[in-house]
A and B are shown apart, each in its own frame.
Chain A
């Protein structure tokens, strides 16, 4: 086992609290260690003072992105459900009972890039948690009948989501923006594939065998625990886990060369929805233009932006406008969303988005505004680290994309270096009409 220690000083806030400031050593405030077992399993331990509670995340670096085979969309999410169906050692009823006895808050979620299994519990139960989690990740076993029953629950989840117009819009957005890459489907998957899931029992075992391997999993432990003891437990319980990860054969998305647009009808009433989504780069904290681009959402479309003030506060033509320029493992989308009050104004709102982009392309952002954003980013990170679960959960996407958390400090350090010129360069590089997909959704009634 290899272990690297990262120890930062706790300067600003005196240390001891669950939140602190790392001073000039980086934004991430806690000492942590990264260990790798011989089989490739990575463990990140972040001890924090948290009143006897701790959080245990098992991050599988497989998500909807890895569903590259036809007819298998939504499978990563479905499989997440199956991970609660027990093993020979601990059948589902016994697993449930043991989790219940611990009073643990246990759940899981699936995203485009990863699947996270998380549990918050009293630190005294760590050994039981390591035992249970290592067991199901190595020896998952379920009957075909249970598999088929769970498919019904997943279809129920799909139906639940379907009454929300945003779910409908996202499905069409991804389908239109991506012609080859697996980002072309949403995490829940296409309805036809969900309906066909009960027949994929054998495939589910193949899926487990391909992706649920130690080299593809990172454990993140936060809260009140002793790192050395935890690592020793983990090594003894996960050490025999056999490697064998098979990377998915994901097609690269060809460069988009022309604007795409689609109009969606929604079977219900809603204010019209508009999304303008640009092809985005994958996360690369060493690339200043990429990092500058990720700041554009708040800068150009946040609550203090000119377009927000004009459309939301002054003219009141939209219920809201916002943008999400997030991070992904492969190039995905940076999207601007608006809920427009009157369908007659959809074109106007689009023009205003274009005007905003044009202005940022031609005019440097005010230094004052950029400085305020940098300060905001720092405090948003620090203020969201107030429980063990939030610490681990907040790191999950970074872990999934890069395999570690060093990227956090690199990213925040790069934010500090971004200049108004970098902002202009990012707009120039990424926010071009030929790179975008525009979707409008309107209710039918």
Chain B
């Protein structure tokens, strides 16, 4: 079992001005003073997430966090709060993932004395008002029943894939919950959840930017009003073994097929093999980057879709973000390949192409040239992960979660710099495979796709535009590539039946 310690971080801000850590305590604060930054960022990390949702009440952690930041307090209605925040162009919000809930906000330091009491009031004296509850619940239900099911096939495909990977564990449901669980959550559930998890012993405060040196102590003292206690987290999930390629297909009318596949890995940020896998992953599928090998094979050479990427850590909101969002740290991670929607007639081929590329790199490893180029790329590209003070604070909180000292970007760059090709290829061999994976699909006429998969039917493609001979030659191998899907490994679900 892993031990997590929460450490005080001193960051270097890419070599810029950084004062020493001035936390009043070494284990309950993450502080990033940036003297000349006129804004102040807050990240208040509660060690609770959707893994703590009681059975039948999935979505409770996320809804509790939303009630704190998008609802009124005992003394102020939500309308009053919006009025007060409005001229400041400041707000606070929450993010809730499996393991972490982070209440975060940012304000210009001119306006700190107006903002600060609002932020602390939201945490310490939540109103849990009926009108806020009904609004937030209705929004969550709409998000599940309408938006996720019908407005973004890419996000839907990923959600189905994640649920399949973690089925049977406390990671195995959407953070948002299910339709029935959301309907069963009451205000009393939210009050009880808040009282159990939002305690003095369960918070790490994060402050960054141009704040006064007395602010951490002030915040810490004010948060002493939280109830005492440090609740015990559930054990880290132990996802079950996957045997063969196992498909969850969502049947819906749509104009393209969304595909995500992968499997759990036992490698976390900070582990020796993490850095090696990070380098491999950057070469194989750097997010939203044309340097990605998969992107080159599927989009660049064949024009089949908008992009093709891979991940060794969860990457929410990939359709909107170009760099990884902080505060989704977990004790269990997964390897994921994401193919952006392809025309239905290419779905079988595109899946084959991606799995085949994965198999080839596992068998052959990366070349010295690929390794060196990616190493050089990451050395500077990592500088873009967290460019703002609030993003750096988010990364520092995550570093604390994983028990890492120092500035994460600098650590990442130094670890990448120290890698050898042998280490990377060894890590690929140790942690990656291509035969036992969950596959999440959103498509039309799913049964026909399932039949093709079970027969391992050839999937030749034709193009409306000319392609080089070497591409056409390789296509023959891809079209006949065996996926070896076994009977019983494909589940087809109508779109209106998922997340119920």
Binding site for B on A (CB under 8 A): 12-21, 49, 51-53, 84, 96-97, 99-105, 107, 120-122, 125, 144-145, 148-153, 156-157, 159-160, 162-165, 198, 267-271, 302-304, 309, 312-314, 316, 319, 341, 371-373, 375-377, 379-380, 382-383, 386-387, 389-390, 443
What are 13 A-B contacts with C-beta separation under 8 Å?
A19-B39, A51-B13, A84-B290, A101-B373, A149-B467, A151-B303, A163-B256, A270-B151, A302-B86, A314-B131, A373-B86, A375-B89, A382-B108
Q: Is the CB of A443 within 8 A of B150?
A: yes
Q: Is the CB of B465 within 8 A of A53?
A: no
- Which residues B317-372 have CB closer than 8 A to chain A? 322-323, 340-343
For B134, what are the chain A residues with a Cβ–Cβ distance below 8 Å? Answer: 316
User: B186-194, B234-242, B374-382, B445-453: which lies at the A interface?
Assistant: B374-382
Q: Is the CB of B79 within 8 A of A156?
A: no
Q: Is the CB of A100 within 8 A of B89?
A: no
Q: Is the CB of A379 within 8 A of B37?
A: no
Of A53, A151, A267, A375, the residue contacting B383 (CB under 8 A) is A53
Bound-complex Cα distance A104 to B383 (A): 9
Bound-complex Cα distance A79 to B292 (A): 22
Q: Is the CB of B150 within 8 A of A268?
A: yes
B299 interface residue, CB < 8 Å from A? yes
Nearest A residue (CB) for B139: A319
Q: Is the CB of B138 within 8 A of A387?
A: no
Given A159-B255, A313-B135, A105 and B322 touching (CB < 8 A)? yes
For A198, what are the chain B residues with a Cβ–Cβ distance below 8 Å? Answer: 464-465
For B14, what are the chain A residues with a Cβ–Cβ distance below 8 Å? Answer: 51-53
Q: Is the CB of A102 within 8 A of B380?
A: yes
- Distance in angstroms from A322 CB to nearest chain B CB is 13
Bound-complex Cα distance A17 to B377 (A): 28
Of B79, B111, B341, B465, the residue contacting A152 (CB under 8 A) is B465
Bound-complex Cα distance A198 to B323 (A): 32
B387 interface residue, CB < 8 Å from A? yes
Q: Is the CB of A165 within 8 A of B305?
A: no
Nearest B residue (CB) for A29: B38
Given A21-B38, A51-B13, A100-B291, A156 and B340 touching (CB < 8 A)? yes
Mask for B291-302, Cβ within 8 A of A = 1, else 0? Answer: 100000001111
- Distance in angstroms from B117 CB to nearest chain A CB is 18
Given A145-B466, A319-B139, A372 and B387 touching (CB < 8 A)? no
Bound-complex Cα distance A157 to B342 (A): 10
- Distance in angstroms from A81 CB to nearest chain B CB is 10
Q: Is the CB of B467 within 8 A of A145?
A: yes
Nearest B residue (CB) for A13: B38
Q: Which 3 A-B pairs have the closest CB atoms?
A: A103-B380, A152-B303, A148-B465
Of B39, B79, B153, B380, the residue contacting A121 (CB under 8 A) is B380
- Distance in angstroms from B127 CB to nearest chain A CB is 13
Given A149-B302, A319-B139, A103 and B381 touching (CB < 8 A)? yes
Binding site for A on B (CB under 8 A): 13-16, 34, 36-39, 78-79, 82-83, 86-90, 106, 108, 110-111, 131, 134-135, 138-139, 142, 145-147, 149-154, 210, 252-256, 288, 290-291, 299-306, 322-323, 340-343, 373-374, 376-384, 387-389, 463-468
Q: Is the CB of B378 within 8 A of A103?
A: yes
Bound-complex Cα distance A379 to B303 (A): 43
- Distance in angstroms from B140 CB to nearest chain A CB is 11
Bound-complex Cα distance A84 to B295 (A): 14
Of B83, B150, B154, the residue contacting A160 (CB under 8 A) is B154
Given A53-B383, A159-B341, A17 and B210 touching (CB < 8 A)? yes
For B303, what are the chain A residues with a Cβ–Cβ distance below 8 Å? Answer: 148-153, 156
For A96, what are the chain B residues with a Cβ–Cβ distance below 8 Å? Answer: 290-291
For B374, what are the chain A residues with a Cβ–Cβ distance below 8 Å? Answer: 100
Q: Is the CB of B89 within 8 A of A17?
A: no
Q: Is the CB of B108 within 8 A of A269?
A: no
Q: Is the CB of B39 within 8 A of A160?
A: no
Nearest A residue (CB) for B132: A313
Q: Is the CB of B387 within 8 A of A53?
A: yes
Nearest A residue (CB) for B382: A103
Q: Is the CB of B37 within 8 A of A160?
A: no
Bound-complex Cα distance A13 to B35 (A): 10
For A160, what are the chain B residues with a Cβ–Cβ distance below 8 Å? Answer: 154, 256, 305-306, 340-341
For A125, what are the chain B residues with a Cβ–Cβ distance below 8 Å? Answer: 380
Of B89, B149, B466, the residue contacting A376 (CB under 8 A) is B89
Nearest B residue (CB) for A443: B150
Nearest B residue (CB) for A380: B89
Bound-complex Cα distance A302 to B87 (A): 12
Bound-complex Cα distance A379 to B37 (A): 14
Given A100-B373, A149-B465, A159-B341, A105 and B381 touching (CB < 8 A)? yes
- Distance in angstroms from A369 CB to nearest chain B CB is 9
Q: Is the CB of A376 within 8 A of B86?
A: yes
Bound-complex Cα distance A295 to B279 (A): 48
Nearest A residue (CB) for B14: A51
Of A12, A51, A99, A163, the residue contacting B16 (CB under 8 A) is A51
Q: Is the CB of A382 within 8 A of B38?
A: yes
- Distance in angstroms from B469 CB to nearest chain A CB is 11
Q: Is the CB of A103 within 8 A of B383?
A: yes
Of B13, B86, B305, B465, the residue contacting A145 (CB under 8 A) is B465
- Distance in angstroms from A315 CB to nearest chain B CB is 10
Of A17, A159, A373, the residue contacting B38 (CB under 8 A) is A17
Bound-complex Cα distance A89 to B126 (A): 63
- Distance in angstroms from A155 CB to nearest chain B CB is 8
Bound-complex Cα distance A96 to B301 (A): 14
Nearest A residue (CB) for B376: A101
Nearest A residue (CB) for B111: A379
For B256, what are the chain A residues with a Cβ–Cβ distance below 8 Å? Answer: 156, 159-160, 163
Nearest B residue (CB) for A124: B380
- Distance in angstroms from B22 CB to nearest chain A CB is 19
For A20, what are the chain B residues with a Cβ–Cβ distance below 8 Å? Answer: 38
Q: Is the CB of A19 within 8 A of B38?
A: yes
For B373, what are the chain A residues with a Cβ–Cβ distance below 8 Å? Answer: 97, 100-101
Q: Is the CB of B79 within 8 A of A313?
A: yes
Bound-complex Cα distance A148 to B302 (A): 10
Please name 18 further chain A to chain B contacts, defined as beta carbons within 8 Å, in addition to the given A152-B465, A163-B151, sorted by A numbering: A13-B210, A17-B210, A18-B37, A51-B14, A53-B387, A100-B291, A101-B377, A148-B303, A149-B300, A149-B467, A153-B299, A159-B341, A163-B256, A316-B131, A373-B87, A379-B110, A383-B39, A386-B388
- Distance in angstroms from B351 CB to nearest chain A CB is 15
Nearest A residue (CB) for B319: A160
Q: Is the CB of B342 within 8 A of A156?
A: yes
For A99, what are the chain B residues with a Cβ–Cβ distance below 8 Å? Answer: 291
- Distance in angstroms from A441 CB to nearest chain B CB is 12
Bound-complex Cα distance A227 to B436 (A): 55
- Distance in angstroms from B156 CB to nearest chain A CB is 9
For A314, what are the chain B residues with a Cβ–Cβ distance below 8 Å? Answer: 131
Q: Which residue among A164, A314, A373 has the maximum number of chain B CB atoms within 10 Å of its CB?
A: A164
Q: Which residue among A17, A97, A107, A164 has the maximum number of chain B CB atoms within 10 Å of its CB?
A: A17
Q: Is the CB of B464 within 8 A of A165?
A: no
For A105, what are the chain B residues with a Cβ–Cβ distance below 8 Å? Answer: 322-323, 381, 384
For B340, what are the chain A residues with a Cβ–Cβ distance below 8 Å? Answer: 156, 160
For B138, what are the chain A residues with a Cβ–Cβ distance below 8 Å? Answer: 316, 319, 341
- Distance in angstroms from B281 CB to nearest chain A CB is 15
- Distance in angstroms from A118 CB to nearest chain B CB is 11
Bound-complex Cα distance A145 to B301 (A): 10
Q: Which residue among B134, B253, B255, B376 has the maximum number of chain A CB atoms within 10 Å of its CB?
A: B255
- Distance in angstroms from B206 CB to nearest chain A CB is 17
Q: Is the CB of B146 within 8 A of A303?
A: no
Of A97, A267, A304, A377, the residue contacting B82 (CB under 8 A) is A304
